[in-house]
A = this chain, B = another copy of it.
Amino acid sequence: MKIGIYGYGNLGRGVELGIRQNPDMELFGVFTRRNPETVHTLTGAKVYAADRAADYAGEIDVMIICGGSASDLPEMTPMLARHFNVIDSFDTHARIPEHFANVDEAAFRTGHTALISAGWDPGLFSLARLYMNAVLPDGKDYTFWGRGVSQGHSDAVRRIPGVKDARQYTVPVPEALAQVRAGENPELTTRQKHTRECYVVAEDGADKALIEKQIKEMPNYFADYDTTVTFITEEEMKRDHQGLPHGGQVIRCGNTGADNGHRHVMEFSLKLDSNPEFTASVLIACARAVGRMHGRGIFGCKTLFDLAPADLSPLSGEELRAHLL
């Protein structure tokens, strides 16, 4: 199966590295909007100009689109679905129905197979929510994120005047997690579920008290949370905050029985050293399923909800039943 990578940032690099772990896959190359001659890939993969991608339509089985959800993917995925089988990690939850419809139209009309919103949330966490809801209809579920770096929140802090660099960690509140795991089905406010930790490098002479106030009062991003702001040096930022770890858990507690007296707690959790590399690993497994569905004449837009799990694996049905069932 020949894979193309469209967009070469952290996620694209993760896909490039991850493909080496899957012997049934081959990397055709990377498509970039930059000048291809200026882009040097980690593994020596070939680099092509993004605006010439359609020229290679016959040579690529699945194109993994590694653009940003805010502005790139809403344009890119429908556009590329006219020429390729495609996968993206679109993660703006509120706009998924609209994105799905656009991609479905483009893919179906041209006989391609598309998968949107793959990754871990949306993605594996969505699957966990679906399986858990189907099995325990009488219950309640919770999603916690972190401890991990939120790129969006880090960017928001960096836009404050006087901030040179910043890193924001989302952290679940341990007491809330413990209550949920104990099956107490608590009502939790936004503030009770997560805290936010900001590590900030200030410009020389910046008003640190003002920066801290601006962060803590920023609507949508921080105002609804207990936020801590720690000023650090550039050296500390480089030494302690270069990684992109993340993770979290989906937990559902539900009841069964004659008097609903039996309680069951289901939990799916992730602890990731590298958010982009793990997301890339999910996209690669999904590429396998998309290629197989296309081979069966299943066209249009899908999500992980529509994929038979067996299609994600390189093993045959017999092997899966014998070794993993």
Stretch at the interface among A46-54, A124-132, A210-218: A124-132
A206: CB under 8 A from chain B?
Answer: no
Query: Measured between C-beta atoms, what is the minimum distance from A312 to chain B in Å?
Result: 4
Which one of B269, B282, B307, B310 lies within 8 Å of A135 (CB-CB)?
A: B282
Are A130 and B262 in contact, CB atoms less than 8 angstroms apart?
Answer: no
Are A42 and B324 in contact, CB atoms less than 8 angstroms apart?
Answer: no
List the B side residues contacting A308 at CB < 8 Å: 305-308
A210 vs B320: C-alpha distance when bound (angstroms) = 43
List the B side residues contacting A274 at CB < 8 Å: 256-257, 262, 264
Query: Measured between C-beta atoms, what is the minimum distance from A274 to chain B in Å?
Result: 4
Are B305 and A100 in contact, CB atoms less than 8 angstroms apart?
Answer: no
The 10 A-B pairs at the shortest CB distance, nearest first, are namely A262-B273, A134-B312, A305-B310, A134-B285, A262-B274, A256-B277, A265-B271, A126-B325, A21-B137, A129-B324
A303: CB under 8 A from chain B?
Answer: yes
Query: Measured between C-beta atoms, what is the minimum distance from A296 to chain B in Å?
Result: 12
A318: CB under 8 A from chain B?
Answer: yes
Number of interface residues of A (CB under 8 A): 68
Query: Measured between C-beta atoms, what is the minimum distance from A75 to chain B in Å?
Result: 20
Are A321 and B97 in contact, CB atoms less than 8 angstroms apart?
Answer: yes
Across the two chains, which residue of chain B brings its CB closest to A131?
Answer: B309
List the B side residues contacting A285 at CB < 8 Å: 134-135
A79: CB under 8 A from chain B?
Answer: no
Are A266 and B256 in contact, CB atoms less than 8 angstroms apart?
Answer: no
* This protein's copies in its complex: 2
Query: Measured between C-beta atoms, what is the minimum distance from A298 to chain B in Å?
Result: 11
A224: CB under 8 A from chain B?
Answer: no
A258: CB under 8 A from chain B?
Answer: yes
List the B side residues contacting A325 at CB < 8 Å: 93, 96, 117, 122, 126, 303, 305
Which residues of A, 281-311, contact B by the 8 Å Cβ criterion? Answer: 281-282, 285, 288, 303-310
Are B270 and A265 in contact, CB atoms less than 8 angstroms apart?
Answer: yes
Which one of B256, B269, B277 lies within 8 Å of A21 (CB-CB)?
A: B256
A138: CB under 8 A from chain B?
Answer: yes
A32 vs B134: C-alpha distance when bound (angstroms) = 28
List the B side residues contacting A317 at CB < 8 Å: 305-306
Which one of B305, B312, B321 lies within 8 Å of A320 (CB-CB)?
A: B305
A154: CB under 8 A from chain B?
Answer: no
List the B side residues contacting A122 at CB < 8 Å: 325
Which residues of A, 127-164, contact B by the 8 Å Cβ criterion? Answer: 127-131, 133-138
Are B277 and A322 in contact, CB atoms less than 8 angstroms apart?
Answer: no
Which residues of A, 237-263, contact B by the 8 Å Cβ criterion? Answer: 256-258, 261-263
Are B135 and A131 in contact, CB atoms less than 8 angstroms apart?
Answer: no
